Structure 1
Amino acid sequence: MEQKVGVVGTGFIGPVHVEALRRLGIEVKGVLGSAPSKSEAAARKMGLQKGYTSYKEMLSDREIGVVHLTSPNRFHLEQVLAALEAGKHVICEKPLGMTTQETRKLLAAAKRYPKQVTAVNYNLRFYPLNLQARSMVRAGAIGEVFHIKGSYVQDWLLYPTDFNWRVLASEGGALRAIGDIGTHWLDLITFITGLEVESVMADLCTVHPVRQQPPQGSVETFSAKKGGKKPTTTPVKIHTEDYASVLLRFKGGQRGVLTVSQVTAGRKNAIEYEIAGSKQALAWNGESPEQLWIGERNEANRILLRDPGMLNDAAATYTSYPGGHAEGFPDTFKQLYKAVYADIEVGKPSKNPLYATFEDGHKELALCEAILVSSKAGKWAKVKY
């Protein structure tokens, strides 16, 4: 029987999953929102067959072979476990869980079901030039890696009137800017370099210790600001960080530094890194994803443009259009699911998949917890994987 898909979540990212799956010819049967009315409305809007009334109903549907979870972080543990017990393959949005205690349970559960594919939705790996950078670093083309610097900055929570469930520790976890976008950078860097973070020194800052919650409780991620009468709001104390700086020490002696912000005006979704090696350096920016900068010491620096004819096999496999025909954010989801569903078609996870596994998801939570410990203690903290 063909594997049909059920998607949990109707906010910003759920429809992105649906669109990417459709582009691969994978049938999404239905969607589940936070209420039956939201499920029905989302199903109509996206032209889906079913708006589920409950998660139990979705898991009981024999046509559903794969579940995509784009729900708030606090639901991931119970929803992943239930899906695995129901015999479904699972693709879960990051972070995989709220704590390493949860992710250890999920990692153990995934091992109990070895024929079910489990993945974490770290889509940034699948920009073709990030796959190219990975191949170059792993092949030794840039030499020995010395240090890495980078950032991930946004402005969608710039004002104290900006409110979303992610700002609440009870919904998203103790870390927000790091957990929401910082883990994307950390996953990408470890994926490209193969390095593992050994210890961290972190400084976290809550720029808006009080935010104004609207009557509906939350606004959608990256939703447009509209005019009109301002609603009555409720002040809510915020304990999650808006900004973070993190020093990194990798096993092997390499060093790194990461800056994360969700309150930087004008930066909509700016992720960037620079990897310094003994022969060359590499730099990439997610707002110009078609260019990989290659730094040289004794000759002119170069810009490698995304063109399948110029990329190595690993990167070319996950690019769909000729050079000059831009591929961007939505395409990373398509390419990620191309890799995931290749394993689903085989009937089990591959040995070393390019997509992030539950083990990768667990490691990101271990990094988050070390960052939190470091920030509270004001000193270096070891990562306890």
Structure 2
Amino acid sequence: MLPGIGVFGTGSVVKVFIPFLREKGFKIEAIWGRTIAEASDAALELGIPFHTSRIDDVLLRRDVDLIFIMCSPSLHAQIAVKALGIGKHVVCDKPAGLSQSEALKMVKAAQYYPSLISIVNHSLRFLPAFTKMKKELEEGYLSGPISVVDIRVQMGSLLKDGYDWLCDETMGGGILSVVGSHVIDLISYLTHQKAIRVHAVVRTFTTTTKHIKGIRHITAPDFCSFQMELSGGTMVTATLSNHLPGQLCQEVLICGPGGHLVVKGGDLYGCKGHQEEVLYLDEVNAQDTSSVADFIPRPYIKGLQKIIDALREAFQPVEDKRGWINEPVSRAATFDDGLYVQAVIDALKISSKKREWTRVIVMTEEPDPNPLLSAAVRATAISI
């Protein structure tokens, strides 16, 4: 039996994936909004029976067993940790919180409740072109180790008419967090390597718009170019920009001694020697995406569809009682993956400010909030 779903968020992505959920047989029981007016409008538009602006009103509902967190990143960790603690499955949008400290809390909660699904919405993992690319890499298409990864993403502005979290870097807005998190996760997923050190240029060129001006200014970056040195020796270059209105232009190129693989949009091409071949063509359009293509790129929509397919399979009855509910979503990014992505984002921001190569350090313990007091306690313990 499919679980009832509680949704946190009322933005564009929510209005896209709820029809997908219903098509697969899921029932949307409740929706949360930042204000009661936002929640009421979304519930009316989407036909959801219960709405609220109180987090616990959704989490404590008995008919809700699966939580979709699609709101401001500032609330991701709080909702995810509480949901897992009361036995709810969680799908969290990217990034996993605003900092490594928040992401680490999510990781520890997921480790404490391993029987519950806890995944991050890095939907590019599920895009068929990247699934095929990963398979070709693992089967030795490049005839050797990966030497270079080059990624270019050009798209329109992420900003809306009004001021919200997408305008503020400290609240998780900007192309580095919103799109770069997908790119960073995809690199580790395809290469099985982690970043050792990074070098970045992160900039905010658009600080005001005709709708956002006056006292408030936009701090979220709309351009990012970075390099990454991976644990296996692979070098990565990536350029992400919000300065191309219209459709997404995304290209992921992976090179090795025997050739290269490249995903352009949703299509995969390969080359050995001098002859390029088509390995996968994206001929199936995502259902009813014409109205949302302006603000959510098609590849991300298609990947999200695949995640929902995997979730449905995860909750189907299993004849073998030893069946593991998480297996159908085993390709999805975990909270551990979300913590790693946050560590890379932190390093990229530091590198851009210091204008130097910066090591990637993944947090394993939360920092001491009062190191001076702790030092005094340790000194007292030693003296005793």
Query: Which bracket does the TM-score occupy, shorter chain normalised?
Result: 0.7 to 0.9
Answer whether contact 1:134 1:192 (CA < 8 A) is retained: yes
Answer whether contact 1:158 1:265 (CA < 8 A) is retained: no
Aligned to 2:135: 135
* 1:15 is aligned to 2:8: no
Aligned to 1:339: 310
The CA RMSD over aligned residues, in Å, is 2.4
Residues 174-197 of structure 1: per-residue CA shift (max 9 Å, x gap): xx2211101111211221221211
Once the two structures are superposed, the pairs formed by residues 1-385 of structure 1 within 5 Å of their partners are 2-143=2-143, 144-156=145-157, 163-172=163-172, 176-208=174-206, 210-212=207-209, 214=211, 233-262=213-242, 264-286=243-265, 289=266, 291-298=267-274, 300-306=275-281, 324-327=283-286, 329=299, 330-345=301-316, 348-350=325-327, 353-385=330-362
- How many angstroms apart in 2 are the aligned matches of 1:164 and 1:325? 34
Aligned partner letter, 1:197 = A
59-68 or 22-31, larger mean C-alpha shift:
22-31
Residues 294-337 of structure 1: per-residue CA shift (max 9 Å, x gap): 12214x21122337xxxxxxxxxxxxxxxx43345433212112
Aligned to 2:377: none
Answer whether contact 2:311 2:329 (CA < 8 A) is retained: no
- How many angstroms apart in 1 are the aligned matches of 2:37 and 2:329? 41
Give the superposition deviation at 1:254.
1.1
- How many angstroms apart in 2 are the aligned matches of 1:268 and 1:381? 33
For normalisation by structure 2, the TM-score amounts to 0.83
Aligned partner letter, 1:203 = V
Aligned to 1:224: none
- How many angstroms apart in 2 are the aligned matches of 1:336 and 1:15? 16
When residues 304 and 158 of structure 1 are mapped into structure 2, their CA distance, relative to the original with a 3 A threshold, is same
- How many angstroms apart in 1 are the aligned matches of 2:165 and 2:97? 15
Residues 74-95 of structure 1: per-residue CA shift (max 9 Å, x gap): 1111111121122110000000
- How many angstroms apart in 1 are the aligned matches of 2:328 and 2:62? 28
Q: Which runs of 5+ in 1 are unaligned?
A: 219-232, 308-323
Aligned partner letter, 1:260 = L
90-99 or 133-142, larger mean C-alpha shift:
133-142
Give the superposition deviation at 1:256.
1.0
- How many angstroms apart in 2 are the aligned matches of 1:37 and 1:163? 17
- How many angstroms apart in 1 are the aligned matches of 2:120 and 2:168? 22
Give the superposition deviation at 1:110.
0.7
Answer whether contact 2:310 2:328 (CA < 8 A) is retained: no
13-22 or 71-80, larger mean C-alpha shift:
13-22
Give SS of 1:10's match: coil
Give SS of 1:211's match: coil
Aligned to 2:292: none
Answer whether contact 2:314 2:328 (CA < 8 A) is retained: no
When residues 293 and 105 of structure 1 are mapped into structure 2, their CA distance, relative to the original with a 3 A threshold, is same
Residues 249-306 of structure 1: per-residue CA shift (max 9 Å, x gap): 11121111000112x13354332210002222111122xx1x21112214x2112233
Give the superposition deviation at 1:24.
1.6
Give SS of 1:141's match: coil
When residues 6 and 301 of structure 1 are mapped into structure 2, their CA distance, relative to the original with a 3 A threshold, is same
- How many angstroms apart in 2 are the aligned matches of 1:153 and 1:258? 11
Aligned to 1:310: none
Aligned to 1:226: none
Answer whether contact 1:89 1:344 (CA < 8 A) is retained: no
- How many angstroms apart in 2 are the aligned matches of 1:43 and 1:89? 22
Give SS of 1:234's match: coil
Give SS of 1:5's match: strand
Aligned partner letter, 1:41 = D
Work out the number of aligned pairs and report it: 343
65-74 or 6-15, larger mean C-alpha shift:
6-15
- How many angstroms apart in 1 are the aligned matches of 2:6 and 2:40? 13
Give the superposition deviation at 1:341.
4.2
- How many angstroms apart in 1 are the aligned matches of 2:232 and 2:94? 27
Q: Which runs of 5+ in 2 are unaligned?
A: 287-297, 317-322, 363-384
Identical aligned pairs, as a percentage?
Answer: 24
Aligned partner letter, 1:25 = G
